[in-house]
Chains A and B, each alone.
Chain A
Amino acid sequence: MSSVDVQKPVSGVRSALGFMALFRIEMLLALRKRADITNPLLFFVTVLALLPLGVGPEPELLAKMAPGMIWVMALLANMLSQESLFRGDFEDGTLEQLTLLPQPLYFAILAKSLVHWIATGLPLALLSPLLALMLNLPVDGYLCLLVSLLLGTASLSLIGAIGAALTVALRRPGLLLALIVMPLYVPVLIFGTGAVQAAIDGYAYSTQLAFLAALLATAAALAPLAAAGAIRISLDN
C-alpha cells in the first residue's frame, strides 16, 4: 500500500515499490530487535565451542568433523530463528493486511526472507572462518566454507519460510517446525559440506557451489509461492 496507492502505477512497478518499502521496514525492525540477530549467532558459536568438549580436542578429529559440524549448526541456528519470522506480523494483524495488498504476497515474503538472511545467514557466514580456525579446519577450506554458507543459508532462509508460514497459527510450533523443515534442508547440507570437503581435499569445488546456487535460484522462485499459500491457509485457522 505505502505511498503508491495514490498514483496507481502499473502493477510491475507497484510490486517493486512494495518490495522496497517492505524491505526497508523489515530492515528497520530487524535492527531494532537485535536479539533476533545475536541469539542465533551466539547459539552457533556456543554449540560449536562445546564440540571439542564432547569429542575431545585432537586436532585431526576436529578437522575431520569441522565442515559437517559447522554446517549442521548453521542449519539449526537458521531453523531456530525461523519460528519468529512471521509470528509478530501474525499476532498484530500485519500479515492479514499484507494479504489484502494489490501486489502479490510473493514479494512480501521474498523481502522478509531476504532480511532474515541478512540478519542470520550473512553474519553467520562471516563468522564461520573464526570457528573454522577454532576447529582446526585446514586453511584451504576457509574461502569455500564462507561462500557455501553465504549461498546455502540464503536457500535455508527461503525454504524455512514455508515451515514458518505453515506453523505460524499454532500455539507452540517449535518442534513441529523442525520436523517439517529439516528433511527439506538435506540437499543444501549435502552440497554445502560436499563443497568444503572437496576444497580441503584439494579438488575443484565449483560444481558444488554451482549446485548450491541452482538450489538458491529454485528456492527463490518457488518457496515464496508455497509460503504465500501457507500464510493464507494459516490465517484461516
Chain B
Amino acid sequence: MNWQWFHRLGSPRWFYQKTGAWLPWLALASVVLLSVGSVWGLGFVYEHGQQGNSYRIIYIHVPAALLALAGYYVMAISGAIGLIWRMKLSFAVMRAAASIGAVLSFICLVTGSLWGKPTWGTYWEWEARMTSMLILLFLYIGVIALSHAASREQSADKASALLALVGTVNIPIIYWSVNWWNSLHQRATLRVIEESRIDPVMFYPLLIMIIGFYCMYAWTLLTHTRTLLLKREMRTKWAQDELLGGR
C-alpha cells in the first residue's frame, strides 16, 4: 500500500501551502451563509407563539452547541492520529481545535443563559444540556491547560492528546449521567422548542446557519493551525520563506 500521500499530508509545509488556497473560499462561504442565515432568521421569520422574539437566539446557540461537541471529537481524533502516526501536523490541529472548541462552548453557554432569562426568568438554570456544556467547557480547559504545562512541547502535545482521548470515553457517560441527574431534579420549566415542533420556516435559516458555522469553523481551524505551524517550524527554511513573503 502506498502511504506516501499520508506522510505528505503529515508534512507541515505541504499542508501550509495546500490550504492557503482554500482559505478565501471558506471565508467567502461563511460570510455569505452567516449573513443570509442571520438576516433571514433574525429579521424575517415570524415570532414564536410562546417565546416571542427571544427564541431567535437559537440561530447562534444551536450551531455553537453542535460545533462545540463536534469540535471535541475533531480535537481528540487529531490527537489520536498524532499519537499513533507521530504527526506534528495533527498535534497542531488538535491545539487549534482545543481553543476554538472552548470558545464555541463558551458562546453556547452565554447565548443559552441570555435565552434563559426571558424563558425561565433566570440567567442560569441547571438544565441537562447547559450543565453538560459547562462540563464540556471544563474538559476543554483541562486539555488547553495541560498543553501549556509541560516544558517540552512534544510531551505536552502527547499528554493533551491522551487527555482528549480519555475525555471522549467520558463524554457519553457524562452526558448520560447528567441527563439522569436532571430527570431526578426536574422542575416545572418551560420546555425549549422540541425538535418535532420546529416549523420548517424556522428550520431553513437554522440549517443555513449551521452550515455557515461549519464553514467558519473550518476556516478558523485552518487559520489557527497554519499560525501554530509557522510558529513551530520557525527554524526551517520554508517557514522563513513564507514569513518573509517568499524569496
A106 to B: closest C-beta gap in Å: 15
A194 contacts B181, C-beta separation under 8 Å:
yes
Q: Whose C-beta in chain B lies nearest to the C-beta of A197?
A: B184
What separation, in Å, do the CA atoms of A139 and B145 have in the docked complex?
Answer: 43
Contact flag A234-B173 (CB < 8 Å), given A176-B146, A179-B142, A182-B138: no
> Does A108 reach chain B (CB closer than 8 Å)?
no
Which of A19-27, A44-52, A94-102, A185-193 contacts the other chain?
A185-193
- What chain A residues lie within 8 Å of B142 (beta carbons)? 179-180, 183
B166 touches A190 (CB 8 A): no
Q: Do the beta carbons of B177 and A237 come within 8 Å of each other?
A: no
The 8 A CB mask of A83-95 against B (1 = contact, 0 = none) is 0000000000000
B138-163: contact bitstring with A at CB < 8 Å (1 yes, 0 no)?
Answer: 11011001100111101100110011
Residue of B145, B151, B155 near A179 (CB, 8 A) is B145
Asked if A213 is at the interface (CB within 8 A of a chain B CB), the reply is no
A183 to B162, CA, bound (A): 15
For A166, give its contact among B159, B169, B180, B181 (CB under 8 Å). Answer: B159
Whether a CB of chain B sits under 8 angstroms from the CB of A42 is no
Decide: A230 and B159 in contact? CB cutoff 8 A. yes
Q: Bound complex: CA of A187 vs CA of B139, how far in Å?
A: 14
With A180-B142, A226-B165 already in contact, the answer to whether A237 and B150 are too (CB < 8 A) is yes
The answer to whether B66 has its CB under 8 Å from any CB of chain A is no
Q: How far is the CA of A162 from the CA of B155 in the complex (A)?
A: 15
Q: Chain A residues near B177 (CB, 8 Å)?
A: 186-187, 190-191, 211
Interface residues of A in 189-237 (CB under 8 A from B): 190-191, 194, 197, 211, 215, 218, 222, 226, 229-230, 233-234, 236-237
B23 at the interface (CB under 8 A from A): no
A82 at the interface (CB under 8 A from B): no
The proximity string for A residues 35-72 relative to B, scoring 1 for CB distances below 8 Å and 0 otherwise, is 00000000000000000000000000000000000000
Q: Could you tell me if B174 and A186 are in contact, using CB atoms closer than 8 angstroms?
A: yes
Whether, in the assembled complex, A169 has its beta carbon less than 8 Å from a beta carbon of chain B, the answer is yes
Provide the residues of chain A in CB contact with B173, threshold 8 Å. 187, 215, 218
Bound-complex Cα distance A169 to B170 (A)? 24
> Are the C-beta atoms of A190 and B180 separated by less than 8 Å?
yes
Q: Which residues of chain A are within 8 angstroms of B218 by Cβ–Cβ distance?
A: none
In angstroms, Cα B143 to Cα A176, docked, is: 10
A108: min CB distance to chain B, Å? 18
Question: Could you tell me the distance between the alpha carbons of A167 and B142 in the complex, rounded to whole angstroms?
Answer: 12
Chain B: which residue is nearest A188 at the CB level? Answer: B177
Name the one of B146, B150, B170, B181 contacting A190, with C-beta atoms under 8 angstroms. Answer: B181
A179 CA to B147 CA in the complex, in Å? 13
> Which B residues lie within 8 Å of A234 (CB)?
155, 159
Count chain B CB atoms within 10 A of each CB in A173, A186, A215, A229 and give the residue with the most.
Answer: A186
A233 touching B166 by the CB < 8 A rule?
A: no
Residue of A whose beta carbon sits closest to that of B169: A222
Closest 3 CB pairs of A and B: A187-B177, A183-B138, A237-B155
Interface residues, chain B, with chain A CB atoms under 8 Å away? 135, 138-139, 141-142, 145-146, 149-152, 154-155, 158-159, 162-163, 165-167, 169-170, 173-174, 177-178, 180-181, 184
Instruction: List 20 interface pairs A-B (beta carbons < 8 Å), by A numbering.
Output: A162-B166, A166-B146, A166-B159, A166-B163, A167-B146, A167-B149, A169-B150, A173-B149, A179-B141, A179-B142, A180-B163, A183-B174, A186-B135, A186-B174, A194-B181, A215-B173, A226-B162, A226-B166, A230-B162, A233-B155
